[in-house]
A and B are shown apart, each in its own frame.
Chain A
Amino acid sequence: MSTKETSITLNDVTIEFPVYDADRNFRKYLLKPNIGGIMQAKSKKAKHTAVTALRSLSCHFETGDRIGLIGLNGAGKSTLLHTLAGIYEPIGGELIVNGRVSTLFNTNIGIDPDDTGYRNILTCGLILGMTLPEIRRKLDEIIEFTELQEYIYLPVRTYSSGMLTRLAFAVATSIEPDILLMDENIGAGDASFQAKAAARIRNITSKAQILVLASHSESVLREFCNKAMFLHKGELIAQGDLETVLAEYNRHVAGTM
């Protein structure tokens, strides 16, 4: 698609989340001159509350790389995925992404319960960056996959949760990106559907040139990935070959127990 090689490069990327409690709002800004005086203003500036979610992360991925992100909860896996997707902008370092990126974080990509399933497919497709003709070409295949048949013309509000999941999943997985960013925790409905869903995921991941997948499951990682990054509290502990990193991760987990 693009003339440039598909690649992802991160140089010293740092992501910080500002923390706002109910107290740090407009009221304080408005009332500051009346209550605090210089000292408060000074201490306020020094006390910039922020959580560092990723610290000085550097890495480089190219076509063929299938990267598993591993780490305990809160390690920064999701943050990294969101950063690669261009949602969070790094406060430090640089991020270079070449290629069409698509995400599979949660399958609920702005589904409107009042609209029909059919219309929602078009809406979600547009959000994912497809054009209407592009979506129309895939429409039959998507509808068939959802197994919704004539329900597709009913408002999504009337669907069972399983039907909703199938619809959302089918659209979310209908794109063919160069770079696919995926979170393991995407819902996939009942058991019979899960087998179908797994096949579909295998299909799109094989088409993507770069895959970044966050997962806690070693079997999932072994199936989809050849490389891995081990994150801990926002820092990159190890990266490289999947088995090596997994071993490192297991050593680490055993050590903290």
Chain B
Amino acid sequence: MQLDKFAKTAVQDIVGGAFNWRLWSWLGWKDTRLRYRRTLIGPFWQTLSMAIFVGALGFLYSNFWNMEVSVFIPYLTAGMTAWILINTIVTESTAIFVASTPFIMQKGMPYSTFVYQVIHRNVVVFFHNLIVFVLVMVVFGVYPTVSLLFLIPSLALFMLNALWVALLVGTLCTRFRDFGNLIVSILQIIFFITPVFWIPEQAGSRKVLFVDPNPFYHFIELIRAPLLGHPPTMMNWAVTIGTLVVGSCLTLIIFGRFRSRIPYWI
């Protein structure tokens, strides 16, 4: 095997793509800008639908779970903000290269450019959605603590993971079109088995079994914890950094191996 060669190809693409920042930041902003076009609130529609979702589910489930609304709704909002980020990035990754066909067929360029574009766009949407959380904080009198600063390394780690996920998912889904549909339906299940609208403590002693091994839980915590005013746990960091290392190795090999095939597959 020529693993080092694959890794080199992949790293070249990833670094080259980063240097292509003029293009992807422009395309990322363009996506956001066009969402505002001809609508009154543009990307805030997603924010609004999240607000409605959180409001409705928040009151209902806080009753089910016998929790204070003022505790549950901020928890749910922070969790949903993180979940939407994961969900959108993974979903959009499935079509990332196919959607960029006109660009890819125009000239040779680093394909990671389009991954950065997707990440850029979703970070912007994330901050739109964060407005719901700010409103929730005001309504329920939750105040941010110094732990909010953990959001910076958290988001950075999040994005590094998004990079390998998008490249890997994008490559596989370009070759095997069925993968895209599969991933989208799996995501739906993951939403229900990950503590977003329920709390890990509800699993009781089975938390070790059902919650802790779920990497998505740790990614959600990475963002939810700082928003709710406490730092992510050591386990959260360990799992997400571990995922980054293992996932990146996998991506370097698979993306590096099949990168040159992508224009033939699209």
Residues of A within 8 A of B (CB): 17-18, 20, 25-27, 29, 82, 85-89, 101-103, 105, 108-110, 112, 114-115, 119, 122-123, 126-129, 131-132, 155
Inside 8 A of A103's CB, which chain B residues have their CB? 106-107
Interface residues of B in 103-122 (CB under 8 A from A): 103-109
Inside 8 A of B260's CB, which chain A residues have their CB? 89
A103 to B105, CA, bound (A): 10
Whether the pair A87, B34 counts as a contact (CB closer than 8 A) is: no
Whether the pair A26, B22 counts as a contact (CB closer than 8 A) is: no
Interface residues of B in 232-266 (CB under 8 A from A): 260-261, 263-265
Partner of B176, one of A25, A101, A126, A131: A25
Inside 8 A of B108's CB, which chain A residues have their CB? 85-87, 101
Known contacts A26-B177, A26-B178; A112/B30 CB under 8 A: yes
Judge whether B102 is part of the interface by a CB distance below 8 angstroms: yes
Residue of B nearest to A132 (CB): B22
Partner of A29, one of B104, B176, B265: B176
Question: Nearest Cβ in chain A — how far from B106, in angstroms?
Answer: 5
Whether the pair A86, B107 counts as a contact (CB closer than 8 A) is: yes
Whether the pair A110, B264 counts as a contact (CB closer than 8 A) is: no
Whether the pair A126, B263 counts as a contact (CB closer than 8 A) is: no
Question: What is the predominant secondary structure among interface residues of chain B facing chain A?
Answer: helix
Judge whether B44 is part of the interface by a CB distance below 8 angstroms: no
Judge whether B23 is part of the interface by a CB distance below 8 angstroms: yes
Known contacts A114-B37, A115-B34, A126-B23; A87/B104 CB under 8 A: yes
Inside 8 A of B22's CB, which chain A residues have their CB? 126, 131-132
Known contacts A26-B179, A123-B27; A18/B261 CB under 8 A: yes
Judge whether B26 is part of the interface by a CB distance below 8 angstroms: yes
Partner of B107, one of A26, A101, A123, A132: A101
Inside 8 A of A87's CB, which chain B residues have their CB? 104-108, 263
Known contacts A26-B179, A27-B178, A88-B264; A119/B104 CB under 8 A: no
Inside 8 A of A105's CB, which chain B residues have their CB? 105-106
Residue of B nearest to A15 (CB): B264
Inside 8 A of A86's CB, which chain B residues have their CB? 107-109
A28 to B33, CA, bound (A): 42
Question: Nearest Cβ in chain A — how far from B102, in angstroms?
Answer: 4
Inside 8 A of B33's CB, which chain A residues have their CB? 115
A77 to B264, CA, bound (A): 16
- Give 7 nearest A-B pairs by CB, closest first: A86-B108, A89-B260, A26-B176, A26-B178, A110-B102, A126-B23, A114-B34
Inside 8 A of A132's CB, which chain B residues have their CB? 22, 26
Residue of A nearest to B27 (CB): A123
Partner of A127, one of B23, B179, B264: B23
A88 to B106, CA, bound (A): 11
A173 to B109, CA, bound (A): 19
Question: Nearest Cβ in chain B — how far from A139, in angstroms?
Answer: 15
Interface residues of B in 8-51 (CB under 8 A from A): 22-23, 26-27, 30, 33-34, 37
